[in-house]
Amino acid sequence: MSVSVFGSLNLDVALRLPSRAGWGQTVLVAQSARAVGGKGLNQAVAAARFGSATRMAGAVGADAAGTLLVEALAAEGVDTAHLEILEGQDSGRATILIEPGGDNMIAVEPAANLAAGAQRARGAIQADTRVVLAQLESDVDAIAALFASPEAAAACRILNAAPARPEGARLFDLCDMLIFNQSEFAAYLQLDREPASLDELIAGRRLLTRPGQVVVVTLGALGSAAVWADREVFAPAFAAAAVVDTSGAGDCFCGVLAACIDQGMGIAEALRLANAAASLSVGRSGAARSMPSRAQVEALTGAAS
């Protein structure tokens, strides 16, 4: 059993603000930190810490940031043999503005991430791969080629359709599971507001293109839900002790959900554990480094049972 992740790797610069900043306003940063991140890397770390053998495909530049990103993944036990190291390219970078209360805004410079190709990524899908996970910080054509490959078609193909990109919709038919947060769900369905209840998520059936597909939507403090053509499942959130930083919470959810599916769990249990993991992650600073271990997730879910 294993999870293969194709996605982005970024060097994150997190800036903690003393107050909410508006357009045209200058504020002095209260605290700053550099760390590894990127949706792909974060999700790979989350899956690995939850106990799934994990392989990472993607690209970094032949620079100091790229070396740091590869070494950080290797330290987590993630197989990095299928990462491309590209001469003449910068590694991806993200600037994260964290407001009081933990909400954030992120600006991403994809750089090498958009140059990662599907051919090398196909090698990360091996005989024991049960889940292939991708996000939209990579080239859409490369994701399409990967998901359409015979190697990926034999696994559960999960697309975390984030960030919301109109061209990402052409990947939906190639996926077995689609994961959105509330704003992404509203963007792809062209809704005038974000969904706030399970009933409003039924509209997600419009995104299904073939039998057996499932749409998963995270609802923040409310929890998460899965919607098929003929049924739905809701899993309530676990209360976070204190919200420190929401960066990477969605990635934590996706990585743990992928690991649960890899390990043979049903969707209802996978949602429950992924919710618990995300609630733990927001209580810590940073993205990749905030991902909890399986033991920590099980301690929380056991205490709540």
- Which amino acids are annotated as binding site for ATP, given as ranges? 181, 218-223, 250-251, 275
Examine the residue annotation and report whether 251 is marked as an active-site residue of this protein. Answer: yes
Per-position DSSP letters for 221-275, written without gaps between them: GGEEEEE-SS-EEEEEPPPPS-----TTHHHHHHHHHHHHHHTT--HHHHHHHHH
Pick from 88, 138, 94: nearest CA to 113: 138
How many angstroms separate the CA atoms of 285 and 246, rounded? 8
CA dihedral 91, 152, 287, 185 (to 10 degrees): 110
Query: Would you list which residues are annotated within the binding site for substrate?
Result: 10-12, 38-42, 137, 251
Pick from 89, 93, 49, 53: nearest CA to 69: 93
Query: Would you list which residues are annotated within the binding site for K(+)?
Result: 245, 247, 281, 284, 286, 290
Residue pointed to by tokens 């043979």? 264
Query: Would you list which residues are annotated within the binding site?
Result: 10-12, 38-42, 137, 181, 218-223, 245, 247, 250-251, 275, 281, 284, 286, 290
Pick from 45, 262, 42, 57: nearest CA to 158: 262
Alpha helices by DSSP H, the chain? 39-49, 64-75, 118-122, 140-148, 150-153, 182-189, 198-201, 249-262, 267-281, 294-304
Q: What is the DSSP letter of 167?
A: G
Give just the sign of the alpha carbon dihedral 254, 277, 109, 122.
negative
What are 18's two structure tokens? 């003393």
Active-site residue, selected from the candidate residues 63, 139, 176, 251: 251
Q: Annotated catalytic sites, by residue?
A: 251
